[in-house]
Structure 1
């Protein structure tokens, strides 16, 4: 299967590229390498992929690239590129979220329509639900996001549904619930907790610690994305980890894993939902989704990765080598 992965240098995107290659797919990764967080992390995510057979990388902004030629030979496009983060989406930065989450998605959909793409898998977010009216939350519940980020992800998701209904573009939108694992974005809670545990520096806890999430391991997500791409099903589905865990419980679990965290407290931040919990029965029936990684196992993998980074040699490839590299399929 020939795949294009947008946002390939990111946390989930780089894991997805690895998974697809391991299954024998040919992958073209695309990423603008924005500076939302340290671009060196993204280059490090890419480094293991660059010399693998069947992988090609293109650095570019999806608003500027000619997309039809890029996806013309693809069987599936996994559209993961976008501007992440709830807390940064307020105020002036909202324009960036509109551009990278909504306008970019519309361009990808137009290219899919023009080329007759066989499959488009879009990475949506549980942030579309906001403070949901029911838990576990089913897809039929009306979304009511509580952050501008959630608004833009919902708008992009609804664009996918519109192109599917009007033009027959075969789209699957997956509402991802708090994805974690090695290489997680440094602003996210698990990454900050693991970094604090390994460094001895304090962890800033926003709120009372009783806020809960349906944490979902990245390996389960990438497996589900490929399964959704191979399935004939189209529509919108939740991808959750199978159960809620509070931040306070995660801190206790890290202590039991031998990685205690010193906590400092700050007020809750606007836009953060109090809890999330996914009803995953639709994904289970539509494309066989079954998360297999519990939080303890996933956290242990993150701790091992963090220790390896602090102890192992730095990758010494130059930015030019990393970003100018391109393998032929």
Structure 2
């Protein structure tokens, strides 16, 4: 890797993006963080995520939106890699407002791809989601599983994947789509289950589960996600599952967090929310075979790491 290698991380002030920037800077890359600091969750949290990098000469913070093509053209000169992490997140949010995820996740991705064609970009690495699968035909999901999203968020991510594929096939732009399975870890979004459950458990307050707790998720620790992105710069094309490879029920997740924290929290149940997938579980064989990637952090170890981090933040 030459010292001149430059990368853009869209959504770089967010959870996954900030971890990816940390890794890139540690490897000597010049990094542009593009983030619009959308108030979907605390902008102060996002500012703290990148605060330490501001002193690094290889780091540039740009406040801007991926829907602004004029801005993108100004930023792309000399860039080698694009890590597209920016998105309007939230399955449940997308059910209430389907227009915004379409504009950001689909149209925004198209803007980035179109701009990338005008520059000598080596690789476009897209953060997709297991939400593209949606309706279950079989488990675990492999990349050949039918894609039948059950939320506007899932639809928008699938559209973005198709744009990546078409730009690769039609125009020769090297692209790869990494289908993340429920990422967690330090700095994670406050609206995700592990974050909500852990905060409640540390306060010994009630943990709320929507539904009966039988839904299952394949949780993936953020370090494993970052490793997959770093590998994807030089290997692979098309779509890849990037998941923990093991599922856990929401009930068992809550019980595990209560146990790890030594909490006295009780569990309460509320009506299931529309748009939530029933189950997710990744078949990672394609990523193992073609990217030489596999998850290294188990759910139990990951939860302990996250709880330790949460406790350190509250001291």
Q: How does 1:89-108 map to 2 (within 5 A)?
A: 89-91=94-96, 93-108=97-112
Contact 1:72 1:117 in 2 (8 A): no
**CA apart distance, 1:40:** 1.1
Partner of 1:249: 252
Partner of 1:22: 26
Q: Distance in 2 between matches of 1:255 and 1:187?
A: 18
Partner of 2:128: 124
**CA apart distance, 1:292:** 0.5
Q: How does 1:293-312 map to 2 (within 5 A)?
A: 293-311=297-315
Q: Return closer, same or farther for 1:217/1:164 CA change in 2, 3 Å cut-off.
A: same
Partner of 1:76: 81
Q: Residue by residue, what CA displacement relative to the aligned partner does 1:9-53 show, whole Å, maximum 9, x if unpaired?
A: 111101111111122222111100001111111111111222124
2:243 pairs, out of 240, 245, 248, with: 240
What is the DSSP-based 3-state SS (H/G/I as helix, E as strand, rest coil) of the residue aligned with 1:90?
A: helix
Partner of 2:180: 176
Contact 2:202 2:261 in 1 (8 A): no
2:92 pairs, out of 87, 96, 106, with: 87
Contact 1:175 1:238 in 2 (8 A): yes
Partner of 1:61: 65
Q: Distance in 2 between matches of 1:140 and 1:180?
A: 25
Q: Distance in 2 between matches of 1:124 and 1:187?
A: 19
Q: Distance in 2 between matches of 1:134 and 1:185?
A: 29
Contact 2:184 2:219 in 1 (8 A): yes
Contact 2:207 2:254 in 1 (8 A): no
What is the DSSP-based 3-state SS (H/G/I as helix, E as strand, rest coil) of the residue aligned with 1:283?
A: helix
> Are 2:228 and 1:224 aligned?
yes
Contact 1:131 1:275 in 2 (8 A): no
* Root mean square deviation, CA, Å: 1.2
Any stretches of 5+ residues in structure 1 without a counterpart?
A: 312-329
> Are 2:274 and 1:270 aligned?
yes
Give the structure-1-normalised TM-score. Answer: 0.91
Q: Distance in 2 between matches of 1:188 and 1:171?
A: 28
Any stretches of 5+ residues in structure 2 without a counterpart?
A: none
Contact 1:116 1:169 in 2 (8 A): no
1:34 pairs, out of 29, 35, 38, with: 38
**CA apart distance, 1:69:** 3.1
Partner of 2:115: 111
**CA apart distance, 1:252:** 2.1
Q: Residue by residue, what CA displacement relative to the aligned partner does 1:132-167 show, whole Å, maximum 9, x if unpaired?
A: 211111101120000111011111111111111111
* Greater RCO (CA < 8 Å, at least 6 residues apart): 1
Aligned length: 309
Q: Distance in 2 between matches of 1:87 and 1:258?
A: 28
Partner of 2:12: 8
